[in-house]
Chains A and B, each alone.
Chain A
Amino acid sequence: MTDAASGSPTIGAPAPTLRTQLRALLEADLLVQLRNLRAVALSTILPLVLLFGTFAGRRAQILGDPRFKVASCMMLGMATIAILGYSMGVARDRDAGVFQRLRVTPTPGWAIMASRLAIQVLAILVMAAVVLVAATAFESVTLDAGGYVLTLLAVVFAAAMFLSIGQALVGLIRSTDTLNAVSRLAYIPLFALGLLGHTDILGTNLETIARWSPGGVVSTMLGGAMSPTTWNGETWTAVLVALAYAVVFAGAGIRWFRWTAS
């Protein structure tokens, strides 16, 4: 390609715009997410198994308010997607040099990560919708229109917090093997504390700890969102605590994140 007047080379590509770059990234990340069938199945089936399990027999009485059981199921799905799915996916791509290749293009680093996070939020929203539909269809947990809207907003907010924890893990831990082990260890208490946040079966002290753990505040937030008339001061406090967790974990995850494994 040459400039006819001067014979000098002209530059072939038009200026890349952020819009075209984000579109390309989102399309690729969505394809990757859809093709990761194991992750899709895990993040959807596990919450459904828990949903049917917690509503069955005597456990239905022990774990209290049905809304909190549904919230716990969604929390399990979020933790699975953010802690096991997102952080491990980033670590594997970091090992494979995928980020290094993307970074030598004229794409801002934040856009590369924002696209991935957006797809994870979408996956979490789909999971939450599946759980809500199942809860309505099989367990007769119904919400009013405002409740559904508020719940999905709370899911987005909670997703940001869980993804920030995933980001912190992959930011602080460079080795994929170590991350795999640590994220599995972190995943269980994160979810279990959330589940116990609204029951005193292990005592009031543990209940208090559980209530203000990341999982606990998400459970409170979702419970409030599913029944807007019960939204109160504690729910607002849970929102603020979740925000604080998100800021702290995201800050650590971004500050110490390395694009390469070496």
Chain B
Amino acid sequence: MSGPDSDPRGELALAVADLQVSYGQKRAVDGVSLEIEDGEIFGLLGPNGAGKTTTLSAIEGLLRPDAGTIEVQGVDARANPLRARAMVGVQLQSTGFQAALTILEIVKLYAGLYGLARSRSELLEALDGVGLADEASRRFAQLSGGQQKRLSLLIATIHDPVLVLLDEPTAGLDPQARRQLWNRIGRIRQRGRSILLTTHSMEEAQAVCDRVAILDHGRILAVDTPAGLIEKHRDDPRVVGVAHGEVTLDDVFIGLTGQDYRD
């Protein structure tokens, strides 16, 4: 288990190799490999159904992969799922909490699940950190979308994990709330933590990610910094064909994944 006795130095925050996940006959993730360094924000970009959430779910331990390895700070997440999960914070795409519990009680529950005994004042302080101290006695369903996302992010990071997995963290948020969440993500990185996030937003990928991977049909098509991807594919005919003026990350994405509708 993570703690003072562990020596995470020198290990990657996350190392995924040749990950394969199927739903029946359909291969949803087909040989995905990626490595995330300490303090790095890594973005997974892809159209709907590309395999982003499935990849994240496999890393989170919610899905059993057909093949491949997943290591969190050197810990084999398939062999030691609970030990790996103790080092990971997760914000799911759609989050549900017990409807009868107040926000304060929800935070207390999750702190306890990560082994943290927090007093009421400490919990309120944590809520204050995400601007939710005044909502402590309300229910999750009574919060706005932005407040729900902030609470989810607080719970995902309450145990100060080495790796935070965020599945479309800013989906459905207004520009102000999105910008605030980017700032919070930036502060997590400043503490030396790593983040793997999925997003449909090229603006988000460019604003917060150190590196991004473009995923489609369960395979990684390209990995680089946002600027590096643009540079690398600037003259790619598929990209040039969809660009309107100067090539953007959006053009690279559309060029590599196509313009067809996805489910």
Flag if A93 contacts B98 (CB, 8 Å): yes
A8-B8, A13-B160, A14-B115 are known contacts. Are A100 and B98 too (CB-CB below 8 A)? Answer: no
* B160 and A36 within 8 A (CB): no
A97 is an interface residue with CB less than 8 A from chain B = yes
Within B185-240, which residues are at the interface with A (CB < 8 Å)? 191-193
Residues of B with C-beta under 8 A to A225 = none
A9 near B192 with CB under 8 A, answer yes
Residue B92, interface by CB 8 Å = yes
Residue of B nearest to A21 (CB): B113
Question: Chain B: which residue is nearest A34 at the CB level?
Answer: B100
A8 touches B9 (CB 8 A): yes
Nearest-CB distance from A227 to chain B (Å)? 39
- Would you call A13 and B100 a contact (CB within 8 A)? no
A16 with B92, Cβ < 8 A, contacts A24-B109, A103-B61, A104-B61 known: no
Q: Which residues of A contact B73 (CB under 8 A)?
A: 11
Q: Across the interface, do B116 and A108 meet the contact criterion of CB distance under 8 Å?
A: no
What secondary structure prevails in chain B residues at the interface with A?
loop
Most buried by B among A93, A98, A106, A259: A106
- By a CB distance below 8 angstroms, the chain A residues around B2 are 11, 13, 15
Q: Which residue of B lies closest to A105 (CB)?
A: B113
Contact between B108 and A13 (Cβ–Cβ < 8 Å)?
no
Q: Which residues between 101 and 144 of chain A lie within 8 Å of chain B, taking CB atoms?
A: 101-108
The answer to whether A102 and B113 have CB atoms under 8 Å apart is yes
Q: Which of B79-87, B126-134, B174-182, B252-260 makes up part of the contact surface?
A: B79-87
C-alpha gap A8/B86 in the complex (Å): 19
B164 to chain A, nearest CB (A): 12
- A11-B2, A11-B162 known; A93 and B115 CB under 8 Å? no
Query: Which residue of the partner chain A has the closest CB to B7?
Result: A8
By a beta-carbon cutoff of 8 Å, the part of chain A in contact with chain B is: 1-3, 6, 8-17, 20-21, 23-25, 27-28, 31-32, 35-36, 93, 96-98, 100-108, 259
